[in-house]
Amino acid sequence: MKVNSTTFQEIHEPMYILEEDLLRRNLQVIHSIAESADVEIILALKAYSLWKTFPLISEYVSATTASSLNEARLGYEEFGSPVHTYTPAYTDDMIEQVARYSSHLVFNSWSQYTRYHERALHANPKLSMGIRVNPEYSEIKTALYNPCAPGSRFGIISAQLPDRLPEDIEGFHIHCHCENGADVFQRTLKHIEEKFSNWFPQLKWINFGGGHLMTHKKYDTGLLCRILQGFHQRYPNLNVILEPGSAFGWHTGPLVAQVVDIVENGGIRTAILNVSFTCHMPDCLEMPYKPDVRGAEKLTLAKAKAPEESHIYRLGGNSCLSGDFMGSWKFKHELQIGENIIFEDMLHYTTVKTNMFNGVPHPAIAFLHSDGNLEILRRFGYEDYKTRMD
């Protein structure tokens, strides 16, 4: 089916729509950074796991990074190459399997390393193992996303590192960014080098984690390349890996929903939709952030109460959670039942996090090819809801 990618007027059901042209644009940016900075940039599956698009993504990047057995298997089987794996805690029932799916495996603590390093290497003698280190420095403002806050459970701090690392530790993994620019990486790298460069001669690789939002229009990709080139000059023995997730799916398509009712209470009008913030756009409530809605102006809370003729609406989800709404947006016309509401930039950290709370229908997932044809990748039904629970 051909669709109009401005209005999506042919769509009458809730749907995440991944747009090929936008995805390719991001992939080109990522690929050219990897080339000019001589680093490996891999896809973090936690942010984006639409595996039917992996053949396209593998035209630009060569591997994925996993944070669980399921992700490791998906990356190995569907992306088609061994994964880089880090999880906060491996367990007896998964360590060998994870090791077989992985090229790189990172331990979060010394106790995890001690418990599992021999078993992992035995399962996959080619495995390159590393440890996650915590630089105790991060500029992330939202506590929920700060892995370096005091008392964090992530990574080993420099005071806990022996002068001589175990022989089979070949890499350090550091994750301390979230939707950050290259300037933040530049400042953070100073702390990382101060704390950990003594150990660099013992390593083969270093992974600077995710959170590098290199496909954001304001991201200074030139600065990132210069930082990485400088790092190479100082430590030529280290292969450098970055594993962003958001940067791949950033602004690659919307969630299209429809208005199903309009209610009013105390001067506040809410357009109830056939999607839910808590089920289908969870980061809006968690982060929190207010998404852009195509053709509507975002208003501050203070302006939310408004006279009827101003076309100001809260948007409400179709779950029973009282807080499943956001507000307010100003539209150019009075909203009508059945019309499309288009939430921008809904492809990263959505389809990987959605749930079926209240049994609300899950939006379909579709791929808009460059030639304008819309391919439905998946529709969800009662069986998907039912089979999650037995």
90 touching ligand PLP, by CB under 6 A: no
Distance CA 294, CA 273 (A): 15
Residue 362 phi, psi (nearest 5): -85, 135
Of 84, 104, 117, 175, the one binding ligand PLP (CB under 6 A) is 175
Residue with smaller CB distance to ligand PLP, 180 or 340: 180
Residues 200-229 that bind ligand PLP (CB under 6 A): 209-211
Q: Which of 245, 316, 317, 327 binds ligand PLP (CB under 6 A)?
A: 245
Q: Which of 47, 83, 123, 259 binds ligand PLP (CB under 6 A)?
A: 47
Q: Output 269-272 pairs: Cβ under 8 A, ≥24 positions apart.
A: 269/308, 269/312, 269/313, 269/314, 270/313, 270/314, 270/315, 270/316, 270/325, 270/327, 271/313, 271/314, 271/315, 271/316, 271/335, 271/341, 272/316, 272/317, 272/318
Alpha-carbon distance of 183 to 196, in angstroms, equals 20
Q: Which stretch binds ligand PLP (CB under 6 A): 39-47, 254-262, 355-363, 375-383?
A: 39-47
By CB under 6 A, tell whether 244 contacts ligand PLP.
yes
Q: Which residue is nearest to ligand PLP (CB)?
A: 210
Runs of H (alpha helix) within the chain: 20-37, 54-57, 69-74, 95-101, 110-123, 182-196, 221-234, 246-249, 277-280, 282-286, 382-387
What's the number of CA atoms in the CB half-sphere (13 Å) around residue 27? 18
Q: Which residue lies nearer to ligand PLP by CB, 155 or 316?
A: 155
Q: Which of 18, 30, 66, 178 binds ligand PLP (CB under 6 A)?
A: 178
- The least distance separating ligand PLP from the CB of residue 41, rounded to whole angstroms, comes to 11
Q: Is 29 in the site for ligand PLP (CB under 6 A)?
A: no
Write down the least CB distance from residue 180 to ligand PLP, Å: 8
Which of the residues 285 through 344 are near ligand PLP (CB under 6 A)?
Answer: none
**Which residues of the shown chain bind ligand PLP in the complex (CB under 6 A)?**
44, 46-47, 86, 175, 178, 209-211, 243-247
